[in-house]
Amino acid sequence: MLFGCSGPGAAEAIAHSELVGLLALGGALMLAIAVMVGARSRRRWLFFAGVVVHPGWWLSARSGDCGYLLRYVSVVATVLFAVAAAWFVWRSRAITSFSATRT
């Protein structure tokens, strides 16, 4: 089998992948809460949609690869989510401060 996950250590690898996926999901949720507190935009609720589509929420670790796809994609998704959250907070504050100086 090419991508089979079996034998000694398979259960530990799957459990580790599920833990990494859940921790990455928790990190994305914390970032969404930080955006809710830090952003000055009405569209800040959209970041909770990012949490819903996060792979740690829906991707399975029991699909045959010991969850390595879940592990790596969850981490990448959380890093991208963090970059988007930082940009969104920075942009919302820049627009607010720009409009405050114009009036």
pLDDT for position 1: 41
Q: How many domains does the chain have?
A: 1
Per-residue confidence band for 75, with pLDDT thresholds at 50, 70 and 90: very high
pLDDT at 2 over 50: no
Question: H helices within 1-103, ranges in order?
Answer: 10-38, 47-52, 55-58, 68-102
**Within a domain: 93:** yes
* SS3 at position 43: helix
Is residue 46 assigned to a domain? yes
| Alpha carbons 77 and 83: distance in angstroms, whole number | 10
Enclosing domain of residue 84 = 32-102
**Sign of CA pseudo-dihedral 39, 37, 84, 54:** negative
In a domain, 6, yes or no: no
Tell me, yes or no, whether 1 lies in a domain: no
Q: Is position 87 within any domain?
A: yes
How does pLDDT run across 6-23, given as a tens digit for each residue?
Answer: 778 888 988 999 999 999
pTM score? 0.77
Does the residue 79 lie in any domain?
yes
In a domain, 10, yes or no: no
Establish if 17 belongs to a structural domain.
no
- pLDDT for residue 30 is more than 60: yes
